[in-house]
Structure 1
Amino acid sequence: MNITKRRVAFVAALVISVLAIVIVCGLAGCSSCSRSVKSMSSDFSGGINRTVTLYDNTGKEIKSWHGKIDLESNDQEVFFDLNGKRVIIQGGVVVSEED
């Protein structure tokens, strides 16, 4: 019975090790995985230091925000929190640059 428990523990450790190697190799090699990791770290840390600039349709700057920002968007708007305030942008052209 003791040998059976050891075999089960060995197989479980082997499976976990193989899965860990596959995950690390998969995340290290593809750019979409790198973007996903950066996105998750942004979610957990409250955002990335960036400058968000809003332009009108002619290219004139309307307003600019700078700080640790985690951008979110849907089909109609871009929104983020900055200094405890929610900023919602509907329309216009939004450009986000990482600092």
Structure 2
Amino acid sequence: MGWIILLWIIALVVIGACGFGSYHFFNTYPKENKKMQILGFSLAGLGALSLVAAILITIPLTNTESFKRTVKSFQSEFQGGITREIVVYSEGGEEIYREQGQFDVEHSEERLKWVDEDGYVQIIYLGRSSTAVVNEIGEE
């Protein structure tokens, strides 16, 4: 994802510089000065070519699993979480906890932590013998 952003920043700088340069050459020099007019057209063409190149280069990068995960992360961040189901099983396989809702889950130091739909922080301490399964579920 970082490469896509960097590529587009570079492309926008090049396109902006070419646009400014072509505008400058078209409006500063009279139409009789053919060299400057050609330079203005060349800069406009270079800007258009940079835009096309940026689009063609980033299209294959958007089909990667890393890009799909990043898009899902942005959707989760700006849409209040992903609809998920958390199921905690004991060492023997019995279900001891189940929760469903729209939230983001953080796992660290043998615990699950999230903010539920009511705004309360929920923490499950797993221990060494329990297992938690967190699944994304489809919207109903």
TM-score higher than 0.5 = yes
Change in CA separation of 1:23 and 1:59 when aligned onto 2, cut-off 3 Å: same
Greater relative contact order (Cα 8 A, min sep 6): structure 1 or 2?
A: 1
How many residues are treated as equivalent by the alignment?
98
Q: Which runs of 5+ in 1 are unaligned?
A: none
Higher normalized strand content (fraction of residues): 1
Which residue of the partner structure matches residue 32 of structure 1? 66
Q: Sequence identity of aligned pairs in percent?
A: 27
Q: Deviation of residue 51 (structure 1)?
A: 1.0
Amino acid at match of 1:81: V
| Superposition TM-score, scaled by structure 2 size | 0.58
* 2:95 is equivalent to residue 61 of structure 1: yes
- Give the corresponding residue for 2:54: 19
What is the root-mean-square deviation in Å for CA atoms of aligned residues? Answer: 2.1
Give the 3 Å change call, closer, same or farther, for CA 25–85 of structure 1 in structure 2.
same
After TM superposition, list the pairs within 5 Å mapping 1:1-99 onto structure 2. Answer: 1-2=25-26, 3=37, 4-28=39-63, 30-83=64-117, 84-91=119-126, 92-99=130-137
Write the letter of the residue equivalent to 1:36. Answer: T
Partner Cα distance (1:79, 1:16) in 2: 43
